[in-house]
Amino acid sequence: MQVSVETGEGLERKLKVQVPAETVDAQVESRLKSMQSRVKVDGFRPGKVPFSVVKQRYSTQVFQEVAGEVMQNTFRDAVTQENLRPASAPSIEPISFELGQPLEYVATFEVYPEIELAPVSELNIEKLSAEIEDKDVDNLLETLRKQKAIWAEVDRPSKEGDRVTVSFKGSIDGELFEGGSAENVPLVLGSGSMIPGFEEQFVGLAKDAEATVKITFPEDYSASELAGKPAEFAVSVSKVEASELPVFDDAFAKEFGVEEGGMETLRVDVRNNMQRELSNRISLDLKTKVMDKLLEANPIEVPKAIVQEEAEALKKQASAQQTGEPSAEALASEAERRVKLGMILSDLVKASELKVDRARVDERIETMAKDYEQPDEFVNYYKSNPQLLQGVESMVVEDMIVDWVVDQAKISTVKSSFDEIMKPTSTT
């Protein structure tokens, strides 16, 4: 067998293979002989068909079968011989494909990249740090208090913090547009739940007031046909309500499941929940930064075929979750990021000799189970399902890699506050 390799664009490889004619012919001959006792030909008794007749009738068919098998088998042998790691199924194009002649073909495929990881010790990573202060707890308790507010109708013009019940009809260039009309919508002024500039124009309006509200849709508005366009809304107010906040007492604490200890216990519970959420957010931020740094430090090219497969998987996932189909560009970008990270992390696991920590896997599953009414059944289901268990193991391995990187990288601590971490300022 003769083998030569040609490097194509990027990770593409063209493998030219030539198999001696006698190798293929011998297999064809052997298979034809094995058929001789089984074939039926008019004019001959079963098992008595001359070999020359069998060969004349079936040699082309058998050659095609044998040649296909030979190409598959020799391809595997050739990539092993040339130390290639195919990342996609080959596209095989026969060049010489005739009985009695050398079998020659070209296999085109992509290979996995050779990765030489940058030293983890040279990575500079910032880790957020924050303490939960009493004012943070006070702010959250106040938010909970507002959630339990009782709304009472008032006979005065609306002001910030009031809830108005409104109806409106939106138009662009005098034409009503789809989704621009609604009846009796409750709107808390200052909540920021509507398009910028919309709810502010309801301040100062009393019950039964009518007005025209003018706004311009944001350039990045989700409905592209409306993005950046000016619109007018004919609005009317049917009700103005002010909030009456409850008192911080034992009854208030019971609203949040505290049966004993009143506000003091509720305050402790709130702080504990805040600490848990803060720790999770800091861990997630650190993990994201570690992954970003690994990608930045290890620029690699990845097989297009694998990126395409990942993009298709992401597309199906988005469809199943009914989150809306991302653009092809967004899918390709995220898919490429995931494939690159997957390859880098795989090499890191080998380099660090990390083994999945079973205790951490069990702990992760038990934590996930807390959100379900029957946690024991959830745990048993996950542990008995190999695919689900493998998914949890992958998450744990990622966490272990993050820990391993953080132990070796140059980590600088950035002091922040609870609000800054939990409600990061948008950069867009």
Provide the Cα torsion 310, 315, 321, 327; round to 10°: 120
* Gap between the Cα atoms of 246 and 234, Å rounded: 35
* Gap between the Cα atoms of 92 and 75, Å rounded: 9
DSSP assignment of 26-78 equals: HHHHHHHHHHHTT---TTS-TT---HHHHHHHHHHHHHHHHHHHHHHHHHHHH
Q: Please, which pLDDT band fits residue 427 given cuts at 50, 70 and 90?
A: very low
Tokens of 204: 């100062």
Query: What mean pLDDT do residues 66-87 have?
Result: 94
* Gap between the Cα atoms of 402 and 293, Å rounded: 11
Tokens of 158: 């609306």
Asked if 411 contacts 120 with a C-beta cutoff of 8 angstroms, the reply is no
Which tens digit of pLDDT belongs to each residue from 18-66?
999 999 999 999 988 888 878 888 778 777 788 888 888 888 899 999 9
pTM: 0.74
Domains and CATH numbers, the chain: 2-110 (3.30.70.1050), 150-244 (3.10.50.40), 262-422 (1.10.3120.10)
Q: What b/e readout covers 271-284, taking b as 16+ CB neighbours within 10 angstroms?
A: beebeeebeebbee
Give the per-residue pLDDT at 58: 86
Which tens digit of pLDDT belongs to each residue from 366-422?
989 988 889 999 999 999 999 999 999 999 999 999 999 999 999 999 999 999 999
Give the per-residue pLDDT at 287: 95
Partners of 230 in the β-ladder:
216
Which SS3 state, helix, strand or coil, does residue 196 take? coil
Q: What b/e readout covers 345-355, taking b as 16+ CB neighbours within 10 angstroms?
A: beebbeeeeee
Asked if 293 contacts 302 with a C-beta cutoff of 8 angstroms, the reply is no
